[in-house]
Structure 1
Amino acid sequence: MAAEHISKTSEAYPMKGGDGVHSYANNSYYQRGVIDTAKKLITDEIADKLDLKNIVLSNTFRIADLGCSVGPNTFFAVQNIIEAVKCKPQCEGFDPQLLEFQVFFNDHASNDFNTLFTSAPPDRQYYAAGVAGSFYCRLFPNDSLHFVHSSYAIHWLSRVPKLIVDKSSPAWNKGRIHISNTEDEVVKAYEAQYAEDMDCFLHARAQEVVCGGLIALIVRGRPNDALHSQTHVNILYDLLGSCLMDMARKGIISEEKVDSFNVPTYSMSPQELVVAVNRNGEFSVERIDMLARVTETSNLPKSQILASHFRAALDGLIKEHFGDVILDELFESFRKKLEQEFPLTKSGRSINFFALLKRKAKH
């Protein structure tokens, strides 16, 4: 069974690397805000749920951040975790001076690890290592991790669902790039891919995380009662798809190219996550909380902020499918549509939520 999960085929969708104007590092301050809103929850849960005496058999505490990307956000998240562990009463019998931390930064091999490690804090209090590979596969040895963190990452699927790019399938998503007001078959294809991927994610982590170890997930999702077509991000994908169709009508790209392009993301609900965890059976759901809305601090127009964030996330995906010539025109068109359709984009029902899972004792 494990070998199947190690060899699972997974496509890579790295965020825009480097430190340029369109880079993820410079266009991910919203995600940083989400990490900040979860800081107290992580601190409280480590204080309450982490049993250092029984899970750490040496003086080394191992943390993995899955889907770390290239910006500074991963370093803030890791520092929050380390500070919380150090704040436990006398580190529960461990001398704080002797307890060492090893942190694994994980993302696809095509992630810009050079920029990531170049920007690492020089005064960090941990040993750092990069681990390349999909988090839908095994990444670490058995019982080697004490704390797993992942923020704004597991909404990325391992691949585009096969049926939605199959012209002979009722789920063929012609003229659209994601779930919108589409046929039920498209929704079912995305749901099936999400369910398969979460099974792989949890199966891999169940082998890697020590009994009593914790997984903290910060998820871009949707309310339990919300349709996919009602979510904020899917409304935005609709607008971006319409920009691509406009370019196809102008002959800049082919309509066939648009028909075969789909964004491999899925906005799970808290209820769907609970169902996946229960199906796996190796973790308990210790806590699920909705996170407070992030307050926008930039003075830039909202349309420009959204267009820049989307470009940082989708740059590589679009470049691979259409080439890089269309990027400037596409995202300028997207920015203008966001301005025109601002009331529509405000109607979306997206949420950010925090989930804490604990590895059960092995049978």
Structure 2
Amino acid sequence: MAESYPMKGGDADYSYYKNSFFQREAINTAKRLIDETIAHNLNIKDLLFGSSSSFNIADLGCSVGPNTFICIGNIIEAVKYKCQSQGLASRIPEFQVFFNDHVLNDFNTLFRSLPPESGYFAAGVPGSFHGRLFPRSSLHFIHTSTALHWLSQVPEEILEKNSPAWNKGRIFYTNASAEVCKAYATQFAKDMEIFLDARAKELVVGGIVVIMVPTIPDGISHSCESCNVLFDLLGSILMDMAKKGSLRTHGLVSEAQVDSFNLPMYIPHAKEMIELVERNRCFNIERIESYKFLSGFDTDKAL
């Protein structure tokens, strides 16, 4: 069973709602890509004359907004334009949007901030996207943005003291042993296989999946990626706190607590991501683009 790592709920100063500008930048940058993909790859006539009376969209890992609403608006706008450009303005479908995230996600904040004139039917779907969420052949468009790098669980072997992959003194795989890095990569590969298998069952024939995920440029070490370096520094700070007797005496943090905590995320190389999709064989990669952001991340979109 997948573990749950929801973002900080509410709309206070330290909430995800007010601290997700990088994710919003990625969504805004991807708008052109989504527009062109729907224009060139979506066979709207076949979908409109199919058995479904609505165009069904799922945003997986939606969190609490407002980024998910921007993304959904971009998708719907592009689908409407596609209909109009093919002389189907009178056949524009109704839109059903499913907002998915972990069961502990703050769906109350999400739906309180739902645009009043959204133009679509909205529903929340709690649960991990590392598994089935929807009936077979029920979705026309699946989107996920800056979410797939979160693992379904911390690799078990890095928490076992007798394991070669025990990640003692660290909270991430940056600068860790080869066994630790391999454990993280293996867990990510398993999660991707499950994710793709589930989406292949849920998507209609001719549907589209957009994956936006942080990646590291090929040939660059994990230890050289800026965010990975920050996570490594955070782990070092926690260990320094644990080793200071005064802090340990007051029970703020212990070495055992640091050893038991590992960040459940993995940033793959771009080539690694492509190989996982191709190995799965459920989808054809129609298009890939990479963007550089101020954080140092590459963000690849595989369509």
1:62 is the counterpart of 2:56 = yes
User: Partners of 1:73 and 1:98 in 2: how far apart?
Assistant: 25
Within the candidate set 7, 17, 21, 1:25 is matched to 17
User: Partners of 1:137 and 1:93 in 2: how far apart?
Assistant: 38
Residues 222 and 351, structure 1, Cα contact 8 Å, conserved in 2: yes
- Give 5+ residue unaligned stretches, structure 1: 1-8, 295-345, 357-363
Q: Write the letter of the residue equivalent to 2:228.
A: N
Q: How does 1:294-313 map to 2 (within 5 A)?
A: none
User: Partners of 1:141 and 1:108 in 2: how far apart?
Assistant: 18
- SS of alignment partner, residue 88 of structure 1: helix
Which piece of structure 1 moves more, 237-246 or 95-104? 95-104
- SS of alignment partner, residue 289 of structure 2: strand
Q: Name the structure, 1 or 2, with higher relative contact order (CA <8 Å, separation 6+).
A: 1
Within the candidate set 4, 10, 14, 2:6 is matched to 14
TM-score by length of 1: 0.79
Q: Write the letter of the residue equivalent to 2:257.
A: K
Residues 37 and 292, structure 1, Cα contact 8 Å, conserved in 2: no
Query: What is the aligned partner in structure 2 of residue 266 from structure 1?
Result: 266
Query: What is the aligned partner in structure 2 of residue 47 from structure 1?
Result: 39
User: Partners of 2:146 and 2:171 in 1: how far apart?
Assistant: 20
Q: Write the letter of the residue equivalent to 2:274.
A: V
- SS of alignment partner, residue 285 of structure 1: coil
Query: What is the aligned partner in structure 2 of residue 38 from structure 1?
Result: 30
Query: What is the aligned partner in structure 2 of residue 326 from structure 1?
Result: none
Query: What is the aligned partner in structure 2 of residue 188 from structure 1?
Result: 182
C-alpha deviation, 1:98, in angstroms: 4.5
1:84 is the counterpart of 2:62 = no
C-alpha deviation, 1:280, in angstroms: 1.4
Within the candidate set 116, 120, 136, 1:126 is matched to 120
- SS of alignment partner, residue 291 of structure 1: strand
C-alpha deviation, 1:269, in angstroms: 2.1
Residues 199 and 280, structure 1, Cα contact 8 Å, conserved in 2: yes
Cα deviation per residue 1:214-258 (whole Å; 9 max; x = unaligned)? Answer: 111111111121222222211010111122112212312110000
Query: What is the aligned partner in structure 2 of residue 145 from structure 1?
Result: 139
Query: What is the aligned partner in structure 1 of residue 298 from structure 2?
Result: 351
Within the candidate set 72, 75, 97, 1:103 is matched to 97
User: Partners of 1:207 and 1:89 in 2: how far apart?
Assistant: 26
Residues 39 and 82, structure 2, Cα contact 8 Å, conserved in 1: yes
C-alpha deviation, 1:70, in angstroms: 0.6
User: Partners of 2:238 and 2:143 in 1: how far apart?
Assistant: 35
User: Partners of 2:23 and 2:274 in 1: how far apart?
Assistant: 23
RMSD: 1.4
Q: Write the letter of the residue equivalent to 1:279.
A: R
Identity of aligned residues (%): 54
Q: Write the letter of the residue equivalent to 2:242.
A: A
User: Partners of 1:205 and 1:55 in 2: how far apart?
Assistant: 18
Cα deviation per residue 1:3-49 (whole Å; 9 max; x = unaligned)? Answer: xxxxxx10000000001111000101121111101110110111011
Cα deviation per residue 1:181-201 (whole Å; 9 max; x = unaligned)? Answer: 111000100011011000000
C-alpha deviation, 1:150, in angstroms: 0.5
User: Partners of 2:220 and 2:197 in 1: how far apart?
Assistant: 28
